[in-house]
Amino acid sequence: MQNDNLKHKNPTDANNVLAAAFSFNEAVVWDSHFGYEIGYFLGEGHVYETYLIDVRTGVVHEPTCYPKSEIHKYSNELIDKLTKKYGYEKRFSDVF
């Protein structure tokens, strides 16, 4: 009887859960609370509770894991808010 209950439930794997949060190559913002960088979402990180992000600004120029709590969807409104908070602006353009 327990097996009957299990086969009626739809198991959710990590990739399906991620799809609801971010899409592959979606523009994201990493707000470290000391500053921010912009990049692209690549997937789950290799470290617990992280996402793998391809940051396009800043010092690190390769995909790196960042805490999930510090990754946000890129939007003009968020960039405006972070520009006021940190005193500088970074936006996506035709260059990257």
Instruction: Show the domains of the chain with their CATH numbers.
Output: 2-86 (2.30.30)
Q: Has residue 13 got a pLDDT over 60?
A: no
pLDDT in tens, 35-79: 999 999 999 999 999 999 999 998 888 899 999 999 999 999 999
* Other C-beta atoms lying within 10 Å of the C-beta of residue 21: 13
For the entire predicted model, the pTM comes to 0.74
CB-based contact 79:91 (threshold 8 Å): yes
Q: Has residue 95 got a pLDDT over 80?
A: no
CB-based contact 70:24 (threshold 8 Å): no
- Phi and psi, residue 70, nearest 5°: -100, 0
Bridge partner residues of 71 (DSSP):
30
